Amino acid sequence: MPQLNPNPWLSIMIMAWLTFSLIIQPKMLSFTPTNPPAKTALTTKAAPWAWPWS
């Protein structure tokens, strides 16, 4: 059963994980968005649902 052979896939997974965690992740974490989300707290009161069978 060749799919149980971890020989090529384990090294590919480890290299992809190392690439993400050492190269891509620090670059993404240092990115500052140009349009940050607003800090306003919106509180909306939901109307109760009128179920037709109750």
Distance (Å, whole) CA 3 – CA 16: 19
In this structure, what is the dihedral angle of CA atoms 26, 31, 32, 33, given to the nearest 10 degrees?
-130
Tell me how far apart the alpha carbons of residues 26 and 18 are, in angstroms, rounded to a whole number.
12
Predicted confidence (pLDDT) per residue in 14-50, tens digit: 999 999 889 888 888 888 777 877 777 667 778 888 8
In this prediction, residue 16 carries a pLDDT of: 92
Model pTM score:
0.45
Buried-state track 16-44, b at ≥16 Cβ within 10 A, e below 16:
eeeeeeeeeeeeeeeeeeeeeeeeeeeee
